[in-house]
């Protein structure tokens, strides 16, 4: 009887050990996948900032292969926009738009969708610009949003200036949200709640 109980106990331990080893393997694999994703986004953003569009594309594609989400697709659309491949840029940004999990990068997706559409279809672009102004207005915006609204109302779009304004606005927003998520300080520190259509989702800070 003792031998039978001992044998069963050993089998139970072996099963538990096997489960824990399998769980550790899965966790390690998930960690590796996340690291590849985060590194791809981080390096891609750095390459994009210095104008290395081929390098940016490679890194964002690597990130997308690691985790098929809207953030790397949004940045791939931005790369194509900067390289003036508007048809490809529109395809990517629309694909990203259909996905969940934008986090606080949703504002960037909306801003660049506006820029892309303004170069592809003016009427559709102006509609998208109105949605961007509304969304940004819920994000405690920089006052330069008034300049964007003036362009929308008049229909006189200075694309070069608009691109600079949108990039400045979404970059400031992302920087402040990341500071709040990382340290609990910054513009959003001390506010009763984090409102706005994108801030509720939170997000990942890429280092």
pLDDT at 201: 43
How far apart CA 119 and CA 77 sit, in angstroms, is 14
Confidence of residue 194 (pLDDT cuts 50, 70, 90): very low
> For the chain, first and last CA: distance in Å?
58
Q: What is the pTM assigned to this prediction?
A: 0.78
Confidence of residue 34 (pLDDT cuts 50, 70, 90): confident
pLDDT tens profile 79-103: 999 999 999 999 999 999 999 888 8
Every domain of the chain and the residues it spans: 101-207
How many DSSP H helices and E strands does the chain contain?
A: 8, 0
The answer to whether 45 and 72 are in contact (CB under 8 A) is no
Confidence of residue 199 (pLDDT cuts 50, 70, 90): very low
pLDDT tens profile 67-80: 999 999 999 999 99
How far apart CA 123 and CA 142 sit, in angstroms, is 26
How far apart CA 191 and CA 143 sit, in angstroms, is 19
């Amino acid at each position: 009887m003792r031998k039978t109980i001992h044998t069963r106990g050993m089998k139970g331990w072996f099963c538990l050990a096997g489960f824990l080893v399998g769980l550790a393997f899965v966790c390690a694999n998930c960690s590796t996948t996340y690291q590849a994703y985060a590194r791809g986004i981080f390096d891609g953003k750095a390459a994009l900032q210095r104008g290395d569009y081929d390098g940016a594309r490679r890194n964002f594609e690597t990130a997308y292969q690691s985790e098929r989400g809207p953030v790397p697709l949004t940045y791939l659309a931005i790369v194509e926009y900067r390289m003036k491949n508007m048809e490809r840029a529109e395809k990517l940004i629309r694909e990203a738009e259909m996905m969940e999990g934008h986090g606080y990068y949703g504002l960037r997706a909306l801003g660049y969708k506006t820029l892309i559409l303004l170069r592809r279809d003016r009427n559709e672009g102006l509609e998208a610009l109105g949605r961007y102004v509304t969304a940004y207005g819920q994000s405690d915006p920089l006052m330069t949003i008034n300049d964007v609204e003036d362009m929308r109302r008049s229909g006189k779009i200075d694309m070069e200036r608009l691109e600079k304004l949108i990039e400045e606005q979404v970059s400031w927003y992302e920087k402040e949200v990341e500071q709040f998520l990382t340290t609990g300080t910054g513009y959003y520190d001390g506010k009763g709640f984090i409102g706005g259509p994108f801030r509720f989702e939170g997000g990942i800070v890429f280092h």
